[in-house]
Structure 1
């Protein structure tokens, strides 16, 4: 399944407390659960929170489902990029 990285501009997210981050995750999970119950193939792996942005890793059948999740959850999807491959320090050893 295609994997995507989503850049979301969310003011002050980098200074959000644990309760706010938990509420955001709960909202996202709720929308994902509803979409999955509609047989839509989308899931969230994890997100990185930095400054005024989050960078989220999603598995999704297509980009349209990510836009739908953004609309339904209220979290923007400012940039969506399909991940083509992954490298790390061990890639040099191959």
Structure 2
């Protein structure tokens, strides 16, 4: 499945308490479980919290599923970008 980076503007998310982050993750997981039960191929890998933004890494069959999840979960996607390639320090050695 293609990998996507989802940028979300969420005011004060960087100072959110652990319980608030847990609640957000549970809400997202609930919608993902519903979508997967509908045979929709979408998976959350992880998210980075930085300032007033989150950068979420997802696998999904298409961008429409990312947008559907954003709408259903209540976490709007500011920008969705498909990852085309990935590099790391080992890339320099090959």
- The runs of at least 4 consecutive aligned structure 1 residues that moved more than 6 Å come to none
Q: TM-score, normalised by structure 2?
A: 0.98
Matched, 1:71 2:71: yes
Q: TM-score, normalised by structure 1?
A: 0.98
Partners in 2 of 1:13 and 1:83 — Cα distance?
Answer: 24
Count the aligned residue pairs: 94
Aligned to 1:26: 26
Long gaps (5+) in structure 2: none
Q: Return the offset for 1:59.
A: 0.3
Q: Return the offset for 1:89.
A: 1.2
CA-to-partner distance for each residue in 1:15-66, whole Å, 9 max, x for gaps? 0010000000000000000000000000000000000000000000000000
Partners in 1 of 2:64 and 2:8 — Cα distance?
Answer: 16
Superposed CA RMSD:
0.4
Long gaps (5+) in structure 1: none
Aligned to 2:17: 17
Q: Return the offset for 1:90.
A: 1.3
SS at match of 2:80: strand
